[in-house]
Structure 1
Amino acid sequence: MRVSQAYLSPVEESALIRKAKAGDDHARDRIVLAFSRLAVSIARKYRTFGVPVEDLVSEGIIGLLTALDKFDPDRGNRFYTYAQWWVRAQILDYVFRQVGVVRGPSSAAAKMRFFRGERPVMSMSMEARVGGDLTVGDTLVCANPRPDELAETVIDGERRSAALDRALGRLKKRERAIIEARYLSDEKVTLADLSPVIGVSRERIRQIEVKALAKVSKAMAAE
């Protein structure tokens, strides 16, 4: 992917966005190319979660396109400032959707494991077919870890759990409430659910959520 395209001037940006929103595919492509470095930059910040950077960049591009569809050039804002929220939100949504492959006793437990940096465990039978006569079990070097390996995993999990507690403790009260409701609860809590409770719009909650998740990610990475 090319990311060397220079950012557009305000006049060029406004003109291209208007054309793109009118259905000009060439203008749309130019906008995406000009701001693709934004998607790459944000995607790289979340590579520590074990998701391929290429996948994160692709999600970032989807976020760019979403931002382009929703952006109003008449409000006087620069597209970069507006788009970064959508790019980050799309990437984070994708990262957390990876928790969906976990089948544990509760979704909250699965999400907590993900926050701690533990890789999700696929809920798949050891006898499930990979292809032909090959099963999932056949692809594993050792299904039963040694006691020392298991102990190391437990200790690492405890450290990350403590790190997560510290990271959450650094959040503002409203930020923590949103993160705990959205990602650490067994119940599915939507932006619409939180809007009347927090007293701000759904878009504002999304912005606070993205900022808070970035804080948690940065704090966890620094541990």
Structure 2
Amino acid sequence: MTTLEQWPEKVDSAWQEQMVVQYAPLIKYIASRLALRLPSHIALDDLISSGIIGLIDAIHKFDPSKNISFKTYAEFRIKGAILDELRSLDWIPRSVRKKSHLIENTYAELERTLGRPAEPEEVSSALGLELEEFYQLLDETKTVSLMELEGVWKAIRSNPDLPENELPEILQDETVRDPFLALHFSELQDIMIRAIDGLPDKEKLLVSLYYYEELTMKEIGQIMGYTESRISQLHTQAMYRLRSKLREYFQVGHD
């Protein structure tokens, strides 16, 4: 991989081409993981095309003086470009978004009242649904839960008290030297750790295996002894809980 010392003072077409070839597998990897959570009519090639745009944007905007690895920076730019393209398509029906917001609000209200993670039976009861109907609703809204968690982060990044465009890059990079950024990095890490730590044990394990170990839903199901479908439902539940916690902390509303 390219080191910070190798980065040129000025990016030319030859360097851009070299970097696109070098990071093409990363684009395909990110696009493929996102595609697993999307309807079948969303073409993987379209996601990859958007990812290439994100990578090129990253190549031209990357600043090696900030001591942030290019791979970390590129990952967020690639994923951001793909998600921006998905949002622009506006392919999620308004009725599904409404159901998603209802589920999230129900989780938030129940967990504030109970002082602990709400059980699926409690959420389904509060929604006036049978448990199986609730699980079907999770399946129906799983894509919204993924997209809108990213939307919460986008709203947080627009906070005027945070340095513009810095938050995504510092979230996973321990080499940040700027004291101001390091302070926000530490605070955000603490918020996320507390939010994840507040998840039920099964969801906490799932988040660790999916986002840190980067296993697939199928692989996680084999480890935890559940079907891939059930793992997907647990993931959606975890996303709703994390979304409500982040919205509450940062006072970010729905779009």
Give TM-score scaled by structure 2 length. 0.43
Give TM-score scaled by structure 1 length. 0.49
Larger radius of gyration: 1
Q: Which has the higher contact order (CA 8 A, sep 6+)?
A: 2
